[in-house]
Amino acid sequence: MEKIKVAVLVSGGGTNLGALIAAERDGIIRSGTISLVISNKVGAYALERARVAGIEAITVTKAECGSQEAFENRLIEELRSHGIELIVLAGFMSILSERFTSLFRDRIINVHPSLIPSFCGKGFYGLRVHEAALEYGVKVTGATVHYVNEIPDGGKIIMQKSVEIREGDTPEILQKRVMQEAEWIILPEACEKVSKILLGKRGMKD
C-alpha cells in the first residue's frame, strides 16, 4: 500500500514520538510511515528512540547553521531529499517562519498541551501551559492537534481531547496526565487522518 512519508521534528525526550512509533506498529497509523526524525537539539533522547525503531535520525541546529533562515533552508533540504509529505511537530521548541509554514501549507501539524484557544500562543509551552491552567483554576484541560501556520498555535484545529483537573494536581502531575490521556492518543489519530487526506490528494493528481 502507498503511504505518506512523515517526518517528526523533536527537541527533547520524544515521548510523543514514542506514541507515534507505537501507533504505526499497532496499525493506528496506516496511511503514513515515519521516515525521518529531526532534532534541533544535540543529544536529544528522541534521536535514540528513532534509531532503536530503525528510523533515520538527524540533528539540525540553529547554532550550527548560523541563522534562522539558514536553519530553515537546511530543514527544507533534508525534508525534500527524503521525499517528506507530512511534518509532525512533537515537542519541537523552535518557532518556524511564515516562509517555512507557507511552503508546507496543510502539511505541518503540531500537538499543544491545552484546549486551544486557552493557554496557547507565544510563551505557552511545556510546564508553563499547565501552570497557567492551574493558576486560572479551570476544571478541564486537555490537548489539541492543529495545522501549523505563521501564528503560534494559530492554525486550524484537527482534534481535541479533554482531561479532568484533579484536586492536588501539580503542573508536573497534570503534564503527565495530559500526555497519557490526550496527547499520545490524538496525535497518532490526527497523523493518520491527515496522511489519509494527503493520500487522497495524491490520488487525484495521479
Q: In this predicted model, what pLDDT tens digit does every residue of 29-39 receive, in sequence order?
A: 999 999 999 99
- Tens of pLDDT along 6-16? 999 999 999 99
Which pLDDT does position 205 carry in this prediction?
Answer: 66
Other CB atoms closer than 10 Å to residue 157's CB: what's the count? 15
**The pLDDT of residue 206 is above 80:** no
β-strand partners of 147 = 109
User: Does the structure show a pLDDT above 70 at 99?
Assistant: yes
Fold classification of 4-205 is Rossmann fold (3.40.50)
Domain boundaries, the chain: 4-205
Q: What is the 3-state secondary structure (H, E, C) of the chain?
A: CCCEEEEEEECCCCHHHHHHHHHHHCCCCCCEEEEEEEECCCCCHHHHHHHHCCCEEEECCHHHHCCHHHHHHHHHHHHHHCCCCEEEECCCCCCCCHHHHHHCCCCEEEEECCCCCCCCCCCCCCHHHHHHHHHHCCCEEEEEEEECCCCCCCCCEEEEEEEECCCCCCHHHHHHHHHHHHHHHHHHHHHHHHHHHHHHHHHHHC
**Once rounded to an integer, what is the mean pLDDT over residues 104-119?**
97
The answer to whether the beta carbons of residues 85 and 5 sit under 8 Å apart is: yes
- Residue among 82, 112, 130, 146 flagged as catalytic: 112
* 121-156 residue pLDDT tens: 988 989 999 999 999 999 999 999 999 998 989 999
Whether the predicted pLDDT of 202 surpasses 80:
no
pLDDT at 165 over 70: yes
Instruction: Give catalytic status of residue 112 as yes or no.
Output: yes
Average pLDDT over every residue of 62-88: 96
The reply to whether the predicted model has a pTM over 0.75 is yes
pLDDT of 1: 76
pLDDT of residue 176: 97
Q: In this predicted structure, what is the pLDDT of residue 122?
A: 87
